[in-house]
Structure 1
Amino acid sequence: MTTAIKHAERAHALLSASASSRWLNCTPSVRLEEQFPESTSTYAEEGTLAHEIAELKLRKYYTEPMSQRTFNTRLNKMKKHELYQEEMLKHTDTYLEYLQGLTIGMKSTPYVAVEKRIDYSAYAPEGFGTVDCLIISSDTLYVTDFKYGKGVSVSAENNPQMKLYALGALIEYSFLYPIKSIKLAIIQPRLNSISEFDLTADELLAWGEEIKPTAQQAFEGTGEFVPGEHCKFCRAKAQCRARADQYSALGDFKQMKPPLLSNDEVGHILEKAQHIESWVKALKDYALTESLKGSEIAGWKAVAGRGSRSFTNLDTAFAHLKENGIDEALLYDRVPLTVSQIEKVLKTEQFRSLLEEPGYVQKSAGKPTLAPIGDKRKQIFNAPDASEDFANG
């Protein structure tokens, strides 16, 4: 019987696949990050728990047959986790059902590996990682990734994390299977997103050769610092001088003439400024941490925030109010659940059959928003003028 290693306890490579979009774009960042401690968040811990539930389901179905009793015992242990939510069962089912949809139609029994450690050090020094599930059938390698987050939809198209996993798998299994095509898929059930991308084995190998020099630079900590969207999860993002310098470049626009900016100039300013808010937040978080440690941040100090009020004992307080003539109806709000909340309560099939199909749920068009030109959403025109909002505000 296979004993699964807890996801949070796994070793991580310096050139990890999950951080590849960062070290491929900003090669010195990996070594710069080494001086900062690793941190986690509630969202990351939720994702780890959901991955462990998904792993249990996949092992039961594909690689480690077990009795329902054994499965329930293991699952119930996970349910005791403080971050467990019932919707995790539904979302991990979505991932399993996607994989079942792939494998059921295959002509012969496929090879399936769950939470498989992959070595891609032939292309990135000391590089390794763990792929959620890989499948090999005939001459096709499937690499799939389950993402529990619901913040941003992640595309599988030319995704470097997925391609590194595929490279490692191709190296390991090409002696056993005549792999010619690669299929990558990222499944994000909480966003109803399944992103797929196909490429040939030759295209993948060519990409691997292309990134070798960049990976070597990243391992050595050499090259140029290049700030960008990939800075989001960098541990050095608050203090990074290159990131600060890109915003100081906004001062160049002070010299522009005439006094009214052209559309081109507006576009250039927005491009430079689009990540300022997250950068300032990172700076504030860092400054607060340093201030609380007793370090001096010029012009700033840590103070107590506005506290919140709460009942010392809700039941006792409400009983006291009712004893003093306060009507109980005044103490509670009866508020219907939102569409999203009801979707969590019902199973997907129930929600679809009872609400969506009869037409009880409608989706209105979203308010127009500005996005970079590379955004995959379709460009729209003839939307209400933004000035109307200001006039009516």
Structure 2
Amino acid sequence: MPPTLHSILGGSSAERWIQCPPSAMLTAQMEDVESEFAAEGTAAHALAEWKVRKASKQCAGRRPSSDYWTDEMEETTDDYRDYIMDKVSDLKESCKDVQILVEQHLDFSRYVPQGYGTADCILISDKHLFVIDFKYGRGVQVDATENSQMKVYAIGALEIFDCLYEIEDITMVIFQPRLHHIDEWTVSKDDLISWAENTLKPRAELAFKGEGEFKAGAWCRFCKARETCRARAEYFLELARLEFTKPALLSNEELSEVMLKADELSKWVSDVMAYATAAAIEEGRHFAGFKVVEGRSNRRFSDEKKVEEAALAAGYSDIYNKTLINLTAFEKLMGKDEFQDVLGSLVIKPKGKLTLVPESDKRPEVIISNVNDEFCD
């Protein structure tokens, strides 16, 4: 089962306390409230763990059960198991004795005070180490490249296995099935240890002492202090100097600054509103210019079965809607091969609408010709 204890400087929050060291001790004093999404993720991890253990002929125990179980959870945990077993099969072509470690406890306290965590899955093949993380969430796509959590777990894995194997490279994998996203990133052992010595260790020491400077950024998203953090507020209020300036009058640098902060700004505003709303409703706090009202409500039937029976008894028969199931549902219904044979020729994929995104986006850039150049040609 996934662990319920968490280190103050845990791997899952590493990006935040590396970037913003004092946030670790600040949030350690705040109450943990498990969201529905977190509880759902815990249930998915437990099922995924059981399936991998069973497939790899390890002691699996009884199949876990949960109120969060759905067909989607069944399918995505199957995909996770199949990915790992396929990876093991590939590795066995060059290494007969591939080690599969599930929910492996890791200790990285050499670099992080009281630092420990649990890796979802570790594969060891001769000189290569794989650290695999199962992400059930679909709200935010997570990448493996330079992922602080994955690097911390990789360091923890090296602490255990480096003396047993001649490890040269480590591949970190993010498996996020609900977004159809699998991302792999490989780094040499020497480069990883250099990062741990020169970046991880000094930042962790600051964080453990509650020292360093507060710094806002994308890592604030899951911080427990995000609604009331002054550093985060100041980070966004820097944009106030551009308020009411027409976009056409802004420089390219100013436009870039606004766009880079826009997504996080909208999340911050949502966080502030959610915090204030809860405080007003649950604690009776009053905020100048705001009041608590009853929201709009839509009519609905209390019992659709009785509605159906009553309408039919009254002589109304045209009460059903029939629509064609979508493409994904057809593919699941028929299976991929049959779907391709029967409907493949009817499937089209139009070009996506052009959009402006940060340079970190992995999609290839589309080169746009200058309109004036087109006319000159």
TM-score, structure 1 normalization: 0.85
Structure 2 CA distance, aligned partners of 1:21 and 1:126?
17
Instruction: Supply the AA of the counterpart residue of 1:379.
Output: E
- Residue 280 of structure 1 pairs with residue 269 of structure 2: yes
**Contact residue 63 and residue 113 of structure 1 kept, 8 A:** no
Shift, 1:257, TM fit = 11
Q: CA 1:360/1:254 → structure 2, altered by over 3 Å: closer, same or farther?
A: closer
**Alpha-carbon distance change, 87 to 360 in structure 1, aligned in 2, over 3 angstroms:** farther
- Secondary structure of 2:56's counterpart equals helix
Change (3 A) 1:260 1:183: closer
| Paired position in structure 2 for 1:19 | 13
1:307-356 CA distance string (max 9 Å, x none): 23222222222222222232x22x2211222223445x448xx1354138
Equivalent position SS for 2:307:
helix
Match in the other structure for 1:340: 328
CA contact 1:118–1:169 (8 Å) conserved in 2 = yes
Show the counterpart of 2:28.
Answer: 34
- 1:255/1:366 Cα in 2 relative to 1: closer, same or farther (>3 Å)? closer
Any stretches of 5+ residues in structure 1 without a counterpart?
A: 386-393
- Asked if 2 retains the 8 angstrom alpha-carbon contact of 1:140 and 1:180, the reply is yes
Aligned to 2:171: 183
Structure 2: distance between partners of 1:145 and 1:163: 11
CA drift of 1:162 comes to 0.9
**Cross-structure match for 1:64:** 58
In structure 2, distance between residues paired with 1:185 and 1:109:
21
Cα shift at 1:369: 2.1
The residue aligned with 1:301 is 291
The AA in structure 1 aligned to 2:16 is R
RMSD of aligned alpha carbons? 2.6
**CA positional deviation for 1:37:** 2.1
1:384 Cα deviation (Å)? 12
CA, structure 1 residues 336+40, in 2 after alignment: closer, same or farther (shift >3 Å)? farther
The correspondence of residues 80-229 of structure 1 with structure 2, limited to 5 A, is: 81-105=66-90, 106=92, 107-210=95-198, 211-229=200-218
> What are structure 2's unaligned runs of at least 5 residues?
372-377
The DSSP-based 3-state class of the residue aligned with 1:24 is helix
Aligned to 1:390: none
TM-score, length basis structure 2: 0.89
Aligned equivalents of 1:44, 1:31: Cα separation in 2: 22
With 113-122 and 36-45 compared, the bigger mean Cα shift is at 36-45
Contact persistence 2:37–2:137 (CA under 8 A): yes
Alignment match, 1:368: 354
* Residue matched to 1:232: 221
The 2-side partners of 1:63 and 1:258 are apart by 61
TM-superposed deviation, 1:209:
0.3
Contact 1:114 1:134 in 2 (8 A): yes
**Deviation at 1:256?**
7.7
> Quick one: distance in 1 between partners of 2:313 and 2:369?
57
Give the structure 2 partner of residue 50 of structure 1.
44
Aligned length: 365
Shift in alpha-carbon separation, 1:111–1:23, aligned structure 2, 3 A: same
Contact 1:36 1:235 in 2 (8 A): yes
Structure 1 residue 246 corresponds to structure 2 residue 235:
yes
- With 360-369 and 240-249 compared, the bigger mean Cα shift is at 360-369
Q: Secondary structure at the match of 1:19?
A: helix
Q: Identity over the aligned pairs, expressed in percent?
A: 36
Amino acid at match of 1:123: Y
* Partner-residue secondary structure (3-state), 1:18: helix
User: What letter matches 2:76 in structure 1?
Assistant: H
TM-superposition CA deviations, 1:288-311 (whole Å, max 9, x none): 111112222233232221223222
Separation of aligned partners in 2, 1:203 and 1:242: 32
Q: In 1, Cα distance between the equivalents of 2:175 and 2:370?
A: 35
What is the alpha-carbon distance in structure 2 between the residues aligned to residue 316 and residue 197 of structure 1?
A: 56
2:186 partner letter: D
